[in-house]
């Protein structure tokens, strides 16, 4: 890598974090309250998918061992919580189809069946330099009814 190599995935995730933090301000009439959508509020999450150097979506697992209520699940959908020195804490977003069934991402076809994403309290720590692409998704997928 040259001295001038940019880390576009890292920069994109940092920008998403900034947008989400601006939306989460306490004053509902503030300048950033509708930053994700100037016409109406879309919430405080920009969901995204990260891709490895082999062009595969990065997958993480939540509720392993089913110690909490609900099933164990895998996901390729994330929300950035914090970025520091090229590393990020990402919360896992659980995906549902239109019939409210949890989706399993063992094949690419199930990605197109996603109707709704829901925030969870499960997180993963990642090195943002390990990814070659990011696909930002529509914030309207969060808690869609």
Instruction: Using DSSP, state whether 40 is helix, strand or coil.
Output: coil
Confidence at residue 20, expressed as pLDDT on a 0 to 100 scale: 85
Question: 76 is in which domain, residue-wise?
Answer: 8-141
Tell whether 32 is covered by a domain: yes
Tell whether 127 is covered by a domain: yes
Tell whether 27 is covered by a domain: yes
Tell whether 125 is covered by a domain: yes
Q: How far apart, in whole angstroms, are the C-alpha atoms of residue 16 and residue 23?
A: 11
pLDDT, average across residues 65-80: 93
Total domains in the chain come to 1
**pLDDT higher than 90, residue 81:** yes
Of residues 22 and 101, the one with the higher pLDDT is 101
Tell whether 29 is covered by a domain: yes
Tell whether 3 is covered by a domain: no
Q: Which two tokens stand for residue 21?
A: 């933090």
Tell whether 1 is covered by a domain: no
Per-residue pLDDT reduced to its tens digit, 16-69: 898 888 776 555 544 444 445 555 566 789 999 999 988 899 999 999 999 999
Q: How far apart, in whole angstroms, are the C-alpha atoms of residue 36 and residue 52?
A: 27
Q: Are 87 and 126 in contact (CB under 8 A)?
A: yes
Confidence at residue 107, expressed as pLDDT on a 0 to 100 scale: 63
């Amino acid at each position: 890598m040259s001295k001038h190599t940019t880390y576009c995935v890292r920069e994109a995730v940092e920008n998403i974090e900034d947008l989400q933090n601006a939306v989460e301000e306490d004053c509902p009439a503030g300048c950033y309250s509708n930053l994700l959508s100037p016409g109406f509020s879309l919430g405080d999450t920009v969901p995204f998918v990260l891709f490895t150097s082999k062009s595969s979506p990065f997958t993480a697992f939540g509720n392993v061992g089913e110690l909490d209520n609900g099933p164990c699940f895998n996901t390729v959908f994330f929300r950035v919580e914090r970025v520091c020195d090229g590393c990020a804490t990402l919360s896992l977003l659980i995906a549902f189809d239109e019939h409210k069934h949890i989706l399993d991402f063992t094949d690419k076809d199930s990605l197109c069946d996603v109707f709704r994403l829901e925030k969870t309290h499960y997180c993963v720590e990642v090195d943002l330099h390990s990814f070659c692409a990011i696909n930002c998704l529509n914030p309207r997928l969060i808690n869609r009814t």
